[in-house]
């Protein structure tokens, strides 16, 4: 009797039941999806996008989209998502943490929510712990996504601006937290909007979340500029600044320990440098 009561009250039990219900719906769709030709299975991607455009929510299409990914995995990798992998996928779609033991197949489990969220066209990021895994997973799971008509990119170290921009425009991007983090910081420092590489951030799945959000988070991401150039500039400008007139070209705020140029000061500096507009980007 006590056991029965405990079962009745256990919130985890209730949650598992809810997830199991969704998994049943996915399983019930399997027969129909299995009967589709490769072309028809692939066409599901545009059908889902169409339904989203007409007002359906991701939750509405979740069971069918998951069933489609499972069938695509069977046809490309010869692996059929286990029910627990679908459950993990639902939890990840809901923005929560799913704990799966080592070797249980987290890579494949992530493909369902990744595909579902990529249908919005807004870009899905999968955060991995190192470059090797980003490349491996993008290629490995890429078989499923490509089969379904989605583009996948691997964001690894050493890529140039054009390559980064292209990769961020893919439907799905696998990369390390360092690459995503540094691109985010650099995007916040650009002088022109065209130089931004990331799109608006939408949805991400973090592999090995304890390692990335706890262990790795202890090391801050720091961007530092080229020291030689800045020392050089400091020296050049220190020679100009002493020629400015206090009170006229600049004002000192003792309390804030700062000094700011006046309109006249800006104009004077421009004259000294022989330029028209100091804010013109070509001078940076």
Ligand X SMILES: Nc1ncnc2c1ncn2[C@@H]1O[C@H](COP(=O)(O)OP(=O)(O)OP(=O)(O)O)[C@@H](O)[C@H]1O
Binding positions for ligand X, rule: CB under 6 A: 79-82, 85, 100, 102-108
CB of 179 to ligand X, least distance (A): 19
User: If contact means CB under 5 to 8 A according to the sort of partner, which of ligand X, Mg ion, none does residue 81 touch?
Assistant: ligand X
Closest to Mg ion by CB, 27 vs 130, is: 130
User: If contact means CB under 5 to 8 A according to the sort of partner, which of ligand X, Mg ion, none does residue 76 touch?
Assistant: none
User: If contact means CB under 5 to 8 A according to the sort of partner, which of ligand X, Mg ion, none does residue 121 touch?
Assistant: none
Closest to ligand X by CB, 77 vs 261, is: 77
Stretch that binds Mg ion, among 103-111, 119-127, 153-161, 247-255 (CB under 5 A): 103-111
Closest to Mg ion by CB, 106 vs 164, is: 106
Tokens of 11: 């919130």
Question: Please, are residues 281 and 190 in contact by the beta-carbon 8 Å criterion?
Answer: no
User: If contact means CB under 5 to 8 A according to the sort of partner, which of Mg ion, ligand X, none does residue 103 touch?
Assistant: ligand X
CB of 75 to ligand X, least distance (A): 13
User: If contact means CB under 5 to 8 A according to the sort of partner, which of ligand X, Mg ion, none does residue 233 touch?
Assistant: none
Q: How many chain residues interact with Mg ion (CB under 5 A)? A: 1
- Cα 47 from Cα 43, distance rounded (Å): 6
Question: Please, are residues 222 and 243 in contact by the beta-carbon 8 Å criterion?
Answer: no
Q: Are strands 124-128 and 203-206 parallel, antiparallel or unpaired?
A: parallel
Closest to ligand X by CB, 100 vs 209, is: 100
CB of 109 to Mg ion, least distance (A): 10
Residue nearest to ligand X (CB): 105
Question: Please, are residues 62 and 22 in contact by the beta-carbon 8 Å criterion?
Answer: yes
Cα 120 to its chain centre, rounded Å, is 14
Stretch that binds Mg ion, among 14-22, 27-35, 99-107, 145-153 (CB under 5 A): 99-107
- Cα 154 from Cα 132, distance rounded (Å): 10
In 3D space, the residue among 266, 267, 269, 262 whose CA is nearest the CA of residue 248 turns out to be 262
User: 246 φ, ψ to 5°?
Assistant: -60, 145
Closest to ligand X by CB, 6 vs 80, is: 80
CB of 82 to ligand X, least distance (A): 5
Q: CA distances (Å), 123 to each of 12, 42, 43, 96, 116, in order?
A: 32, 19, 20, 19, 11
User: If contact means CB under 5 to 8 A according to the sort of partner, which of ligand X, Mg ion, none does residue 102 touch?
Assistant: ligand X
Question: Please, are residues 126 and 147 in contact by the beta-carbon 8 Å criterion?
Answer: no
| List of residues 6+ apart from 205 with CB closer than 8 A | 92, 110, 113, 114, 124, 125, 126, 127
- Cα 116 from Cα 93, distance rounded (Å): 8
Stretch that binds Mg ion, among 53-61, 106-114, 172-180, 276-284 (CB under 5 A): 106-114
Closest to ligand X by CB, 77 vs 241, is: 77
Tokens of 122: 């807004």
H or E segment to which residue 4 belongs: helix 2-9
Residues in the site for Mg ion, rule: CB under 5 A? 106
């Amino acid at each position: 009797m006590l056991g029965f009561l405990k079962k009745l009250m256990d919130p985890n039990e209730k949650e598992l039941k809810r997830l199991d219900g969704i998994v049943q719906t996915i399983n019930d769709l399997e027969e129909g999806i299995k009967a589709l030709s490769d072309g028809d299975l692939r066409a599901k991607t545009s059908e889902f996008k169409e339904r989203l455009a007409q007002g359906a929510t991701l939750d509405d299409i979740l069971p069918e989209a998951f069933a489609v990914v499972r069938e695509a995995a069977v046809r490309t990798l010869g692996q059929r998502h286990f029910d627990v992998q679908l459950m993990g996928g639902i939890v990840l779609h809901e923005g929560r943490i799913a704990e799966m033991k080592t070797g249980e197949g987290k890579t494949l489990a992530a493909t369902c929510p990744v595909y579902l969220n990529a249908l919005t066209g807004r870009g899905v990021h999968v955060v991995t712990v190192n470059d090797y895994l980003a490349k491996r997973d993008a290629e490995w799971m890429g078989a499923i996504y490509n089969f379904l008509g989605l583009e996948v990119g691997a964001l690894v170290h050493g890529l140039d601006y054009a390559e980064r921009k292209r990769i961020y425009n893919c439907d799905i991007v696998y990369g390390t937290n360092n690459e995503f983090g540094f691109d985010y910081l650099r995007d916040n420092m650009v002088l022109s909007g065209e130089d931004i590489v990331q799109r608006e951030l939408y949805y991400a799945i973090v592999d090995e979340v304890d390692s990335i959000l706890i262990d790795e988070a202890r090391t801050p991401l720091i961007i530092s500029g080229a020291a030689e150039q800045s020392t050089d500039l400091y020296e050049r400008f220190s020679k100009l600044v002493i020629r400015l007139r206090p009170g006229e070209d600049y004002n000192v705020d003792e309390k804030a320990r700062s000094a700011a140029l006046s309109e006249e000061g800006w104009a004077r500096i421009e004259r000294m440098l022989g330029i028209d507009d100091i804010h013109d980007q070509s001078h940076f």
